[in-house]
Amino acid sequence: MKLIVDINSLEILDECLDNIDVVVVGYVDLAYDSGMIVEFDELVSLCDKVHQAGKEVWVNARRIVHENDVSLINQRISEVLNTLVDGIMYTDLFFYMALENTSLLKVYTPTTYVTSKYDLEVLKKKHDIVLASPEVSIDELEQMASMNSICYLFGQMSIFHSRRKLLTNYYEYRLWMYDSDKKYLLKEELREDYLPIKETKLGTSIYLEGFYSSINYVNRLQKFEFGLISGLFLTPSELVSVINAYVRSDESLIDVKLVRGALDNKTILLKGDD
């Protein structure tokens, strides 16, 4: 399995690049959930460095594109096309159409939409590579493993994304000052989890408490061509530890709270179920 890492610091490459097959970075205005965002010159330098090591660079463009934003997005895409980037990861089909006639690898990574092998195989007829959503059990995930598909190995998973400014509006309603630099956590009244909630100019996202990790199941995921690790909300040293943990299949190297998401859920209640 080739390792894709959405990095959160350029410095970690000195330590980890040998273990990474694809380096992912967010590009300005294109991503909201990337480990880090770079601008044009940094992206050019990164491509040089990564290509010298025989590895690939993909851009994280995992955002929803509204028609009002199209001019800006097209400008950013043309900048990316002026670099030696190898691929682009997106959740909005806008990017597929914008890049259809380019040689960039088109990597479709909607984290909630691809929950069946049937959909995944149909999607691969258009997109070069497709992410299997992590919203499925390990049994289901195993069925989706194939060439040109990605499984989500590790990261702080977004479980909610809204266009609304849910923190700004709330603080305005309460007549309190909203400080965008603070870290915010949500706790449902009957539950114990503290869910990170983050507002950006693209809206508001809520994440699982702890980091989704499939490290104990990696042997069942080997038929995926790619595995994705996200550095979002990790420190650079924590990300290095996670990469090493996956390379050595050693969970003890990871020193952050882990969750398994839907991996162990054999059944998810559906309509009509009690």
Partner 1 sequence: MKYELLAPAGNLEKAFIALRYGADAVYVGGKKFSLRARASNFEIEHIRELCAFAKSLNKRVYVTMNIIPHDSDFDGLEEYLLDLNDCGVDAIIVSSPYIIEKARELVPNIEIHISTQTSITNVNTINYYASLGAKRVVLAREVTLEEMKLIKSKTKMPLEVFIHGGMCVSYSGRCVLSNHMTLRDANRGGCAHSCRWNYTLNDGSDLEKFYNMGSKDLMAIDYIPYLIDLGIESFKIEGRMKSSYYLATVVRAYRMVIDCYLKNGKITEAKLDEFKQEIKKAENRQTYIGFYNGLPGVCGHLYDNRSEIPTKEYVGYVMDYNEETKIALIEQRNYFTPGATLEFFGPNLANTTYQIDKIISHDDKIELDAARHPLQLLEIYVPFKLSKHDMVRLKN
| String marking each residue 66-105 x if it binds partner 1 according to CB under 8 A | xxx-x---------------------xxxxxxx-------
Buried b (16+ CB within 10 A) or exposed e, 180-202: eeeebeeeeeeeeeebbbbbeeb
The residue within the footprint of partner 1, chosen from 2, 44, 148, 165 (CB under 8 A), is 165
Strand ranges in 126-177 using DSSP code E only, listed in sequence order = 129-131, 149-155, 158-162
Q: Does 136 bind partner 1 (CB under 8 A)?
A: yes
Q: Which amino acid is at 9?
A: S
User: What Rg do the C-alpha atoms of the chain give, in angstroms?
Assistant: 19
128 is an interface residue for partner 1 by CB under 8 A: no
Judge contact between 8 and 239, C-beta under 8 A: yes
The answer to whether residue 272 forms part of the interface with partner 1 (CB under 8 A) is: yes
Number of Cβ within 10 Å of residue 100's Cβ equals 10
| Interface region with partner 1, contact rule CB under 8 A, candidates 9-17, 39-47, 184-192, 246-254 | 184-192
125/23 Cα distance (integer angstroms): 24
Closest CB 123 distance from partner 1, rounded Å:
6
Strand order in the sheet with 158-162: 158-162, 203-207, 195-200
Taking CB under 8 A as the criterion, the residue among 161, 213, 232, 245 binding partner 1 is 161
Establish if 173 lies at the interface with partner 1 (CB under 8 A): yes
Chain residues binding partner 1 by CB under 8 A are 64-68, 70, 92-98, 110, 112-113, 115-119, 121-123, 135-136, 140, 143, 159-166, 169-170, 172-174, 179, 182-189, 191, 194, 197, 206, 208, 261-262, 265, 267-273
